[in-house]
Every structure is written in structure tokens, then in C-alpha cells.
């Protein structure tokens, strides 16, 4: 299974730059978009109804701002669009899709900007999302969180870390939040698989940054520990243009099929173990019956006692 995440910085803009052709060619099983900047009624039918996909939209109340969309080949068991907090839900930042073997969160995290109010808002959003994830893990341990996190975690995740230490997106307090994700048992899949690899997912439009590869890695796939064994790969598709971000791609095994495969190899050992346990259970029951008989005075002085009965006595 392929799950792709991409901040398109305006779905209408990227649609004019080969977006639909790319979807057809890449053919992800699930496509999560952030910063769509549109309401469904503003879009052409060909964007809303991509062949082979069911689409779910969560737009901000304010037009031309924020918004997320999830395209999926398989219809989810359930879809939710909020975190239960009005100040977050009105900005259209989350789509939660529940499938048989995992739950997927498509998230557009706030940008802290150079404004203390928005930075505080961003930190509250992070805290609320982590709490929601922890609550969901009780029901479905296999969680996948993808999207634009708007924070570079470590120095390796941006070109000029020293120059950006006081800039939102690389502030210590923001980076500490991503530390908390790790402490709560979530894994940054790309960094887990490629500890030393330098790749970015966002480049500023202002200074020809992409051409010079002066970028930031702020788009992630975080997963719970429980689903990590089923992850096959995580890639940054830096060659894909059309936005100031590039897509990230998660490759995940068919969980049910892999579990069946593993169980199949162990079946003969399980059967042998079952027979051993069954045999010993029968022997124990026999001992219990004999003990019961002894306690009821079932033996007389002239009765021969077997070895097992003598041991029990």
C-alpha cells in the first residue's frame, strides 16, 4: 500500500501544473493533501472526482485558507473532521480516516509565524492532537499521522540551522513538541529508516531556494510503534514540483496478509504446543480426580496404590 502526503499550497494552483497526471501516474492508495485553500463548491468536477478515488474535504471557514483533503481508493470505516476544539476545527486542519487495520490522520499543523499569539495557538494544537492520538490508540493501536508539521525537528532537517534558531519552525519550544511525539511512542519514519540522509520537503519561493536546495524537512509520517514492523519504506519525492513543498510517500505492507503469512509459518509449532498442553491438562485432571477419591476415603487398606497415586498421597 502507498500513502502519499503533500502540501499543495492551493489545490487550484497545483491542478494547473500537472497534478492530475501525477496522481494517475503515481497511483497512491491514499493521497493526503494539506493547504488546499478551497471549498469543494469552488472546484472543478475533475478535481473532486478523481477516477478510482473517494474524496473527503475539510475546508476552513475562511475562504482561501488552510484546508485538507483525503483521496482514498478504499472507503474508510469512518471519517472524522475535528479535534473537538472550536478554535482548531474552524480552520479545517484534520481528517481522520479509520480503516480495518489502522487509523490515518491527515493534518495541516499551524504555522507559528512571527507572532506570539499564533505560536501559542500552534503549541495548543500540537498538545490537543497528541491527546487525541493517545485516546485513539486505546481503540486502534496502529496510527499513522502525516502532513505538514511546520517544524523542522533537528539540525539535519534544514539547510541553515544556526541562522534559523530564533525563527518559528525551528524554535526550541517547537522542536521539544516533536520530542514529545517520540517520547509518547511515535516514530518519525523517514528519520528512523535514514538517520543520516539529508533531504528536504519545503523550499521558500522568495530566494530561488529550491534551485539551491536551501530547504527544510517539515513534512512527516509519524507512526505508532505497533505498526512500525509493517512499514516497508518512506521516501521524499523531491523531483515533484507544483508547490513549494514536495510529496512524501509511505510504503506499508498489507497488515492482514503479513500477519497470516507469519501465523502460517508457526501453525505446526502451535499445534504441537497445543497437543502437549492438552496431554498435560488430561494428566492434571486425572491427578485431581484421584486426590478427590482419596479425600473421600475411596481406598481401603487392602487396595493397591499406583505409583502416581502414591506420589499424590
pLDDT of residue 115: 85
Beta bridge partners of 4: 31, 249
Kindly state whether residues 237 and 276 are assigned to the same domain. no
Same-domain pairing of 299 and 233: no
pLDDT at 213 over 80: yes
pLDDT at 57 over 60: yes
Going from the C-alpha of 257 to that of each of 4, 29, 40, 208, 260, the distances in angstroms are: 21, 16, 36, 46, 5
The angle, 0 to 180 degrees and rounded to 10, between the axes of the packed helices 172-183 and 116-139 is 0
Are residues 166 and 308 both part of a single domain? no
Residues 19 and 164 both lie in one domain = yes
| Residue 207, pLDDT score | 87
Asked whether residue 16 is assigned to any structural domain, the reply reads: yes
Degrees to nearest 5, angle at CA 93 with 222 and 165: 60
CA atoms within 13 A on the CB side of 162: 0
Residue 202 lies in a domain: yes
Q: Residue 148: inside a domain, yes or no?
A: yes
In this structure, the answer to whether residues 85 and 142 fall within a common structural domain is: yes
Q: What is the pLDDT of residues 98-155, one digit of tens each?
A: 999 999 999 999 999 878 999 999 999 999 999 999 999 999 999 999 999 999 999 9
Q: What is the pTM of this model?
A: 0.83
Q: Across all residues in the chain, what is the average pLDDT?
A: 89
Residues 198, 162: one domain?
A: yes
Domain that holds residue 9: 2-253
Instruction: Sheet containing 54-58: give its strands across.
Output: 54-58, 68-72, 30-34, 2-7, 248-252, 231-236
Cα distances (angstroms) measured from residue 218 to each of 104, 215, 236: 18, 9, 11
Mean pLDDT computed over 83-101: 97
Residues 172 and 279 grouped into a single domain: no
- Which CATH number does the domain housing residue 89 bear? 3.60.10.10
User: Of 82, 134, 148, 157, which one is the catalytic site residue?
Assistant: 148
148 in catalytic set: yes
| Residue 283 and residue 183 share a domain | no
Q: Is 260 a member of any domain? A: no
Indicate whether 109 and 217 sit together in one domain.
yes
Amino acid at each position: 500500500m502507498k500513502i502519499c502526503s503533500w502540501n499543495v499550497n492551493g489545490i487550484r494552483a497545483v491542478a494547473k501544473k500537472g497534478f492530475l497526471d501525477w496522481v494517475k501516474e503515481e497511483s497512491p492508495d491514499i493521497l493526503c493533501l494539506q493547504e488546499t485553500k478551497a471549498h469543494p463548491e469552488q472546484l472543478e468536477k475533475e478535481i473532486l472526482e478523481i477516477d478510482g478515488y473517494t474524496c473527503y474535504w475539510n475546508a476552513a471557514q475562511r475562504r482561501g485558507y488552510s484546508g485538507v483533503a483525503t483521496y482514498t481508493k478504499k472507503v474508510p470505516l469512518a471519517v472524522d473532521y475535528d479535534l473537538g476544539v472550536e478554535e482548531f476545527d474552524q480552520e479545517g486542519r484534520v481528517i481522520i480516516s479509520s480503516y480495518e487495520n489502522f487509523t490515518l490522520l491527515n493534518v495541516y499543523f499551524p504555522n507559528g509565524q512571527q507572532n506570539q499569539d499564533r505560536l501559542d495557538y500552534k503549541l495548543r494544537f500540537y498538545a490537543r492532537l497528541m491527546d487525541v492520538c493517545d485516546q485513539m490508540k486505546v481503540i486502534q493501536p496502529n496510527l499513522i499521522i502525516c502532513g505538514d508539521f511546520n517544524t523542522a525537528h533537528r539540525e539535519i532537517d534544514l539547510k541553515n540551522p544556526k541562522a534559523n534558531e530564533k525563527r518559528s519552525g525551528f524554535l526550541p519550544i517547537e522542536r521539544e513538541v516533536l520530542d514529545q511525539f517520540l517520547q509518547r511512542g511515535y516514530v518519525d519514519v523517514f528519520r528512523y529508516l535514514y538517520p543520516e540522509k539529508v533531504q528536504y520537503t519545503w523550499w521558500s519561493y522568495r530566494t530561488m531556494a529550491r534551485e539551491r536546495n536551501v530547504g527544510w524537512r517539515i513534512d512527516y509520517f509519524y507512526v505508532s510503534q505497533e505498526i512500525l514492523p509493517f512499514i516497508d519504506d518512506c521516501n521524499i519525492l523531491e523531483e515533484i514540483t507544483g508547490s513549494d513543498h514536495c510529496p512524501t510517500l509511505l510504503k506499508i505492507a498489507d497488515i492482514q496478509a503479513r500477519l497470516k503469512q507469519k501465523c502460517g509459518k508457526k501453525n505446526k509449532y502451535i499445534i504441537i504446543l497445543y497437543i502437549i498442553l492438552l496431554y498435560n491438562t488430561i494428566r492434571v485432571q486425572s491427578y485431581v480426580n484421584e486426590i478427590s477419591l482419596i479425600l473421600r476415603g475411596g481406598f481401603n487398606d487392602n487396595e493397591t496404590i499406583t505409583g502416581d497415586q502414591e506420589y499424590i498421597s
